[in-house]
Amino acid sequence: MLKNLPKSIHITEVGPRDGLQNEPKVLSTEDKITFILMLQKAGLKSIEATSFVRPDRIPQMGDASDLYEGLMALTSKKVEYPCLIPNLKGLEKALEVGVKEIALFTATSEEFNKKNINASIDESFVRMEEVAKKALAEGLKVRGYVSTVFGCPYEGKTSTKKLIEVSKRLKNLGAYDISLGDTIGVGVPLQVNQIIEELDKEFDLDLFSMHFHDTRGMALSNVLTSIENGITKFDSSAGGLGGCPYAKGATGNLATEDLVYLCHSLGIETGVDMDLLASASDFILSKLGHVSSSKYLTAYLVGKK
């Protein structure tokens, strides 16, 4: 246990996108930009800013173009701001405002994909391949997401064989990083261990990030298991905000505060300043009008106030 720990991990902060896309309250563009700049000040170097999806489906992200333009006017541009893109229409909108990195998304479950993006897995690849081709030709970086890796809200258990197939297809279309989503937070350490062992036979593990939702309180245990198996990239959301509108019961992402606290306690660098991160989360939670699901942040804020 706890041998061969990495010197550092990389965090993709997904709060402004995954964190806010499921919130009943739609925040102003100004507040979202303030949140992103506070996260950046806290040391986060990769912040998923928004998604260029159908605004009638996800109104919380309906200001994607304005947000990105506003952000670019204020940022030092040393930070990456990937944006979630579902199709060519989304890419065109993203290119208009100068997006430099995109994240494509599919799943290991047919049923979830149908509900989420109105496409089968094969159909999603037809879309993603045309988007990736154009994006790469324009010099953009392409990231990929696979949802329902640890279980599906509609189909239950999902297949590691399918995960391997989908990951190979994402790699072949040019994804430099593939984020493995526990969309509904059902994964447990034994399963994380088994899946990473299978992936290790087929890929360089540096290709993968883990994207845990903390629905059943397993996210940190799953992080530790992943780290012990050689994974060094994680997605997390400030304050533990998050959920997917097409995955009933999919509550918050792994909280960035919890991830940072765990890593720092193990001597693993994250580049994140906890005080500044907690201020960013406190700010956005006050705008949303609810408390955090992060145990660490809750304790931290009680200590401060």
Catalogue the active-site residues: 244
Beta carbons of 67 and 31 less than 8 angstroms apart? no
Structure tokens given for 305 = 């106030």
Options 62, 82, 181, 239; binder of ligand HMG; rule CB under 6 A = 181
Helix (H, G, I), strand (E, B) or coil at 69: helix
CB environment 11-39: b (16+ within 10 A), e (fewer): bbbbbbbbbbbbbeeebebeebbbbbbbb
Options 40, 46, 60, 147; binder of ligand HMG; rule CB under 6 A = 147
- Residue 50 makes contact with ligand HMG by CB under 6 A: no
> Which residue reads 């012990």 in tokens?
228
Options 45, 54, 100, 114; binder of ligand HMG; rule CB under 6 A = 54
CA distances from 147 to 49, 72, 111, 122 (A): 19, 29, 11, 15
Beta carbons of 243 and 251 less than 8 angstroms apart? yes
Q: Which residues pair with 211 in a beta bridge?
A: 181, 235
Footprint of Mg ion on residues 2-31 (CB under 5 A)?
Answer: 18
Pick the closer one to ligand HMG by CB: 173 or 274. Answer: 173
We find the least distance from the C-beta atom of residue 201 to Mg ion, in angstroms, to be 26
We find the least distance from the C-beta atom of residue 91 to ligand HMG, in angstroms, to be 8
Strand order in the sheet with 177-182: 46-47, 10-13, 233-236, 208-212, 177-182, 141-147, 101-107, 83-84, 50-51
Footprint of ligand HMG on residues 9-28 (CB under 6 A)?
Answer: 18, 21
Distance CA 3, CA 107 (A): 32
Q: Which region among 3-11, 71-79, 111-119, 271-279 touches ligand HMG (by CB under 6 A)?
A: 111-119
- Residue 116 makes contact with ligand HMG by CB under 6 A: yes
Distance CA 73, CA 68 (A): 9
Q: Which region among 29-37, 113-121, 170-178, 257-265 touches ligand HMG (by CB under 6 A)?
A: 113-121
- Residue 101 makes contact with Mg ion by CB under 5 A: no
We find the least distance from the C-beta atom of residue 2 to ligand HMG, in angstroms, to be 27
- Residue 112 makes contact with ligand HMG by CB under 6 A: no
Q: Which residues bind ligand HMG (CB under 6 A)?
A: 18, 21, 51-54, 57-58, 86-87, 89-90, 105, 116-118, 145, 147, 181, 183, 211, 213, 244, 246
Give the footprint of Mg ion on this chain (CB under 5 A).
18
